Amino acid sequence: MSPEKRSRVEYSPPGNERINTVIEPLLTDLYQITMAYAYWKSGKHNTIATFDLFFRKNPFRGEFTVFAGLLDCIDFLKRFNIKDSDIEYLKTLMPHCEDAFFSFLKVLKPSDIVIESLSEGSVCFPRIPLMTVTGPLIMVQLLETIFLNLINYASLVATNAARFRIAAGRRMKLYEFGLRRAQGPNGGLSASKYSYMGGFDGTSNVLAGKLFGIPVKGTHAHAFVSSYLNMKEIEGKTLLPNPGFKPEGDQDFLSLVSHRHTQVAELLKLMGTESSEGERAAFASYALAFPHEFLALIDTYDVCKSGILNFCAVALALNDLGYRAVGVRIDSGDLAYLSTLVKKVFEKIAARFSVPWFTDLQIVASNDINEETILSLNEQGHQITCLGIGTHLVTCQKQPALGCVFKLVEIDGMPRLKLSQDVEKVTMPGRKRGYRLYGIDGFSILDLLQTPEEEPPQAGVRVLCRHPFEESKRAYVVPHKVEELFDKVWGPGVCLETQSLETTRENAQESLKILRPDHKRSLNPTPYKVSVSDKLYQFIHKLWLENAPIGELS
């Protein structure tokens, strides 16, 4: 049994493992604990409160966001436990607090919490609650920081990955190569997990592959190539023909490499002496180790004069023994130009040596690629089949934070409103129901928030949709289909079932299809409308007037 087949039999990836056990109740801000004590001290801790978790603006100057991190929040709730060591540490931070408070914390559980949420992987928009959390005030307050931590970055990197996927198109393979540039090990694992959800095809992160079942890809670095000086370093190394294949003539792999090198140099009208012998030795060495998976990094010295020549020589030698190479990777230079040149060489090789599969070899490009780079490559024309993307994906360099907030909207049955001179920061009070209205073309028209007591919108029935704060912005919509946005995912007798990463990935890809192309385009996307019903609009503005201070002029 081959090592490849043996590993597949012995290891079954779990698919959606917890990233780190450091996610525990004390992973929070101190002010959450101080507020908890003040609530407890005043007897307000069991007051029932409702908070909305939402964001105010889509990231990356776009018009959509991919919601991620919900399952991590549910996993945290399942394991919520304030340990004895946590209590002892809190006592050192807050020595003036009564012992009875710490006894209360020790037995605190989220059993009375109720959470309604969008589904993991859904496209979402500003002001629409991603999660609505209801329960005893002290317990809900203690969830704020960790929920924001788990959702902000996960949603940001999933959205970033989705934008890369849209820019690259469906045929291009995308691989996340960002572990070494990520913000620590947890950031690296989260980036691998949620970039896969957002539409990437794999990762270089081995631990992410083990934990989440993500396809793992990788070959070698420039150091591997430059560590070889000449072919003498691998003299005497042999490669048996692929089982079932009967080679013709010489079966010595290194002799075949030398022979094919001379032939390819003549075909490409290159001076064979200009190509690096050390590079050729490195490629041959790698092919000896991985004859079924030979993909070489060809820009260590010179792609045109050395890298492509040495690769083709080794790939043809492998072919002589019944193996097929995978392709090349280019990590520097003019990627559009070099990929086109490499493709032409592959076509020449295919024609000259009767190896038609050579035209299908992969051309992988890396080198600090961002969304704009992909769009530029598309405009120039290129022959790249795969992209390896690191820094700009995992660090979300274009916008490093999403900015989700957790705001009180109701307490003890009374709606609460946060006012601000910045209208964008005014919250929408009270509990709400959310709906997505679809047109006859299958695309979403807008998202609509209503009060809980209103009748849901119906397909074929006209509904008035209003901007939450601008009086003149309103429109009638006759939806072809109506979809309710929020499901109960946690509460007494309710716990969202664990879903595989593949399931949430499929959900994300399907959810993105409901948006029109002009909403998803990179440059000047059409704004997506988030509206409120007329009743909710009137309710918001009535409460606004009641709470806004009245000025006095003299």
Residue 154 pLDDT class (50, 70, 90 cuts): very high
Summarize pLDDT for 449-473 with one digit per residue, the tens: 999 999 999 999 999 999 999 989 9
* Contacts of the segment 251-258: beta carbons below 8 A, 24+ positions apart: 251/321, 253/284, 253/287, 253/288, 253/317, 253/321, 254/284, 256/316, 256/317, 256/320, 256/321, 257/231, 257/284, 257/313, 257/314, 257/317, 258/231, 258/313
**pLDDT of 14:** 58
Instruction: Determine the pLDDT at residue 11.
Output: 56
Band (pLDDT 50/70/90 cuts) for residue 188 is very high
Q: Is the pLDDT of residue 7 over 50?
A: no
Q: Is 80 exceeded by the pLDDT of residue 91?
A: yes
pLDDT at residue 422 tops 90: no
Please tell me the predicted confidence (pLDDT) of residue 421: 72
What's the predicted TM-score (pTM) here? 0.94
% of residues, the chain, pLDDT over 90: 88
Judged against a pLDDT cut of 50, whether residue 5 lies above it is answered with no
pLDDT at 494 over 90: yes
How far is C-alpha 66 from the chain's CA centre? 9
pLDDT of residue 21: 62
Mean pLDDT along residues 162-187: 95
Query: Structure tokens of 203?
Result: 């990762």
- Give the domain ranges of the chain: 163-242+251-394
- % of the chain at pLDDT higher than 70: 96
When pLDDT is averaged across residues 189-208 and rounded to a whole number, the result is 97
Phi-psi region of 542 (alpha: psi -120 to 50; beta: other; left: phi over 0): alpha
Residue 551: predicted pLDDT: 80
What pLDDT is stored for residue 12 in this prediction?
57
Position 1 scores a pLDDT of 40
Nearest by Cα to 157 from 129, 181, 140: 181
Rounded mean pLDDT of 337-352? 97
Strands (E), 2-77: 48-54, 65-66
Cα–Cα dist 345/309, whole Å: 9
Q: Which of 139, 154, 191 is nearest to 55 (CA)?
A: 154
pLDDT of residue 552: 83
Q: What is the mean pLDDT of residues 15-35?
A: 82
pLDDT at 199 over 90: yes
Mean pLDDT over residues 148-158, rounded?
A: 98
pLDDT reported for residue 4? 43
The tens digit of pLDDT for each residue in 357-401 reads 999 999 999 999 999 999 999 999 999 999 999 999 999 999 999
Q: Which residues pair with 124 in a beta bridge?
A: 65
Q: Is the pLDDT of residue 20 over 70?
A: no
Cα 543–Cα 546–Cα 547 angle in degrees, nearest 5: 90
Closest CA to 281 of 261, 262, 263: 261
* DSSP class per residue in 406-456: EEEEEETTEE-----SSGGG----S--EEEEEE-TTSSEEEEEEE-TTSPP
Confidence band, pLDDT 50/70/90 cuts, at residue 347: very high
Q: How confident is residue 22, by pLDDT bands cut at 50, 70 and 90?
A: confident
Say yes or no to pLDDT of 348 above 80. Answer: yes
pLDDT attached to residue 545: 84
Q: Please name the residues in contact with 470: beta carbons below 8 A apart, sequence gap of 6 or more.
A: none
Instruction: Give the pLDDT confidence of 253-305 residue by residue, as tens digits.
Output: 999 999 999 999 999 998 878 899 999 999 999 999 999 999 999 999 999 99
**Looking at the domain that runs over 163-242+251-394, which CATH code has it been given?**
3.20.20.70
- Give the model's pLDDT for residue 380: 95
Please report the pLDDT score of residue 9 as a whole number.
42
Average pLDDT of the chain is 94
CB burial of residue 383 (10 Å; 0-12, 13-18, 19+): middle
